[in-house]
Each structure stands twice: as C-alpha cells, then as structure tokens.
Amino acid sequence: MKTITPFILLFFWFSPCEVWSQNIDYQILTEDIQYLSSDALEGRAALSEGNVKAGKFIADRFETLSLSSQFPGYMQKFSLEGAGSDKAQGSNIIAFIPGTSSSEILLIMAHYDHLGKKGDVIYNGADDNASGAAALLSIAAHFAENPPRHSVMFVATDAEEKGLLGAKALVRDFPFPLEQIRVVINMDMISRSDDNTLYAVGTRFYPQFRNFLLKAAGNSPIRLVMGNDGASGEKDWSRASDHGPFHERQVPFIYFGVDDHRDYHQPTDTFENIQPDFYRHASELILDTIIGIDQSIP
C-alpha cells in the first residue's frame, strides 16, 4: 500500500476540480448578499434606517480590509435634492487602493440602496442590487490581498433608485480629475438569469475592452453577451444605471447586468430567488475582466 499512496496523491493533486478560476470566497459572497437583502435592512431605501445600516456594514468591511479612502469614515455625503428637507443627505461608501505602478484609476461601482418599504411590504432588492454590492466587497477583498497595478476605487453608491443621485454626486465631486479614470465597472443585478446570460454593456462606445471580456467569458460557464448599448434595434442600457453620468462625461465604462425578470422591483426580489451558481460565476467573470484589464493595459 505504501508504494501506491504517492500516485494516488499525485492524481488528486493534478485533477482540476473546476476549470474556471476562483478568486472569490463564495461563502462570504453569499453571506453578504443574504445580509444586505435581509428584512433587517428593510429594503435599504435612501435616507432610511436600513439604508444607513447597509452603508455602515460596507464601510466597516472596507475598514476590516484596511483600505484607505479620500473620505472620512469612507462616506461621501451628498444632498438628495427633492427627496425631503434640504438637509437630507445620502452617502456613497468609498474605498481606495493605490496602484503599484500607475495612478490611473479603475473605478468599481454598485449601488446599495433599493426601494425600501411600501406599507408593511419590504422590497428586499436581492438581485437589485444587494448582488452588485456584495460582489463589490468580494472584489475589494481580492485586491486587498493582491495589490493591483492601477489604482482601484470601490464605490457603493446610494440613491440610484432615486435617479442615479449618488453617481451624479460622485461625478460632480470626484477626488481626482475624471481623465484619470481608465474604466468604470458598474454592477447592477448580476445574481440570476433563466437563460444563463450576463450582459456587458458599453463596448459599442469603448471597444478596447472587448478582448478582456472575451477572455474572461472563455473561462466561464455562463454566457456573456456584449450589447444592449443602443445599436440599431437593440435595447439601450448605456444610461440605465450609475455608469450613465460617467458615460455622459466620456469616461469609458462597462456595465454588467441581467435582463429584467419577473421579480424586478417586486417584493419577491429576495435572497431565496437568486441563483447562487449563476451569481458566483458572474462575480468571477467580472473580477477576471478587471484583473485582465489591470494586468494588460499600461
């Protein structure tokens, strides 16, 4: 028996469990989306108590990961015009990792707010957009461990559901010249698809990212479709979420999201209705794209 053991060990050592890469801790990813979409946060509507709890959870994670920020307590406050009193303020939650060889910025974004409650009914917003916010935290954890060549800024935006207000405030008060942003990666609804399809929007305007997307998709079991950016007869999502205000200023972007589904903006957009396998593969695909861009562009 002793003579066979090394061969058995070798066999297991070389047998690949899964062909796609694994840079994301799935357990943490799943726990984070579950917490962010839980009833305890009451749908995370801007200005609500649940929204403040969600923002604090994200800021605490950035602190645990020892990330820096241009903003005290990781919070960029901005006024929510027309959403209550003049003093009503939303908070983008922002962390930063300086690049090891470039000061150009990869800006990774996902909104953490959602619709809140209507009467006693909670709109949990698991896919929209606890999914993007939890992926943002997992991607931040990866780069905290593996320092990127380019600077990376992580932004959980607030008040997207009220008209992209957090993203507009970020463009207005960006702590660096906007020209320093190499790409905006926005994630909004990435955790479920009945036809196993994730869309990457923006390559019609910014074709320089096509190869990175193709390469990441080649290692993924999910189907990546580039489009929905307004070519003739197509849907146009080029201003549909927080990347919009950046696109208007000619800042390159890639927006990742799924098609609208039966639970979109319904109280049934819950953790139980996400598709965990699709979600983790989508998160990996997005991180792979970012890693490819970081390692390959000067």
Dist CA 122 CA 73 (whole Å): 28
Stretch that binds Zn ion, among 35-43, 124-132, 163-171, 200-208 (CB under 5 A): 124-132
Q: Is 263 in the site for Zn ion (CB under 5 A)?
A: no
Dist CA 51 CA 46 (whole Å): 6
Dist CA 223 CA 246 (whole Å): 26
- 198 contacts 271 by C-beta, under 8 angstroms: no
Q: Which residues of 189-215 are buried (b: 16+ CB within 10 A; e: fewer)?
A: bbbbbeeeebbbbbbbebeebeebbee
| β-strand partners of 155 | 94, 109
Write out the two tokens for 97.
């990792």
Q: Is 191 in the site for Zn ion (CB under 5 A)?
A: no
Q: What is the smallest separation between the CB atom of 280 and Zn ion, expressed in angstroms?
A: 19
Stretch that binds Zn ion, among 180-188, 198-206, 221-229, 243-251 (CB under 5 A): 180-188
Stretch that binds Zn ion, among 42-50, 59-67, 182-190, 195-203 (CB under 5 A): 182-190
Q: Is 113 in the site for Zn ion (CB under 5 A)?
A: no
Q: What is the smallest separation between the CB atom of 187 and Zn ion, expressed in angstroms?
A: 9
Please list the alpha-helical segments (H only) found in 146-223.
165-172, 210-218
Nearer Cβ to Zn ion (38/69): 38
The contact pattern for Zn ion, residues 77-106, with x = CB under 5 A and - = no contact, is: ------------------------------
Stretch that binds Zn ion, among 66-74, 81-89, 128-136, 290-298 (CB under 5 A): 128-136
- 258 contacts 190 by C-beta, under 8 angstroms: yes
Work out which of 32, 127, 128, 158 binds Zn ion, going by CB under 5 A: 128
Q: What is the smallest separation between the CB atom of 136 and Zn ion, expressed in angstroms?
A: 13
Q: What is the smallest separation between the CB atom of 141 and Zn ion, expressed in angstroms?
A: 22
Q: Is 129 in the site for Zn ion (CB under 5 A)?
A: yes
Dist CA 93 CA 107 (whole Å): 13
Nearer Cβ to Zn ion (42/128): 128
Q: Which helix (H) or strand (E) holds 290?
A: helix 276-296
Nearer Cβ to Zn ion (37/129): 129
Write out the two tokens for 207.
């074709």
Phi and psi at residue 107, to the nearest 5°: -105, 115
Nearer Cβ to Zn ion (109/140): 109
Residues that bind Zn ion (CB under 5 A): 128-129, 188
